[in-house]
Amino acid sequence: MTTQDVRYSRLDPELRKAHLIEATLICLKRHGFQGASIRKICAEAGVSVGLINHHYASKDELVAEAYLAVTGRVMKLLRDAIDDAPSSPRPRLSAFFQASFSAELLDPQLLEAWLAFWGAVKTAQAINLAHDQSYGEYRAILAKVLTELALEEGWQGFDAELAAISLSALLDGLWLESGLNPQTFTPAQGAQICEAWVDGLQAGGMQRFLRPVGAC
């Protein structure tokens, strides 16, 4: 065990994990998923391969944990925005949109990390599971507020989960486009587009999300 390994092992468990995750994210941004080897992550963290192998069974497992760490930060930001908004559903959705296009979530380095994660989703089971967990959590936040909106508006049979898939796809597409070319639209315009989606829902578009008669 190296001197650095000894120092690392003395850290609080959460600090050790955060240290490795940060090194993993740096390597993912720099080399992509395929190029971010365990050895490169070790070199970035300043620890030995053996020490990382002691904590994680594989690179996929380490990257999956990094994925969940990043999505955890994103979810907290979005939840905090909703919790700080007025209690009615429309202002809560507006707060979600504003947070989605905040400087923190539009950080180019975050986009680079997401692209690395997405590139690994179909090739690594652990990362695929992390993606399913985080995407499910993201949709659940939207579905909850859309359910509240449906109750307020009196929409019987409204499929909030299907509507949440639609809205999350819009948000993901806008976020990706903004990351690839920030000149395409401003953050305020991104939120404006999402508001227009909800306007359309309230103007009659909710009919597209009604469950078939007899469906549960």
pTM (predicted TM-score): 0.85
pLDDT of residue 11: 52
List the one residue out of 53, 10, 44, 8 whose CA is nearest residue 26. Answer: 44
Strand pairing partners for 210? 158
- 4-29: string of b/e by CB count within 10 Å (b at 16+)? ebeebeeeeeeebbebbbebbbbbbb
pLDDT of residue 42: 86
CA distances from 82 to 88, 156, 213 (A): 10, 24, 33
pLDDT of residue 4: 54
pLDDT of residue 3: 53
pLDDT of residue 152: 97
Cα dihedral sign, 75-208-177-84: negative
Q: Give me the torsion for CA of 193, 197, 198, 202, rounded to 10°.
A: 140
Maximum CA extent, the chain: 68
Cα angle 113, 101, 126 (rounded to 5 degrees) comes to: 30
pLDDT tens per residue across all 216 residues of the chain: 455 554 555 555 567 778 888 888 888 888 888 888 889 998 888 888 887 777 788 888 888 988 888 899 899 999 999 999 999 999 999 999 999 999 999 988 778 777 778 778 877 888 889 889 999 999 999 999 999 999 999 999 999 999 999 999 999 999 989 988 999 999 999 999 999 999 999 999 999 999 987 665
Chain-centroid distance, C-alpha 173: 13
What one-character-per-residue DSSP string does 153-188 give? HT-TTB-HHHHHHHHHHHHHHHHHHHHH-TTSS-HH
pLDDT of residue 9: 53
Report the alpha-carbon distance of residue 157 to residue 191 in Å, rounded.
27
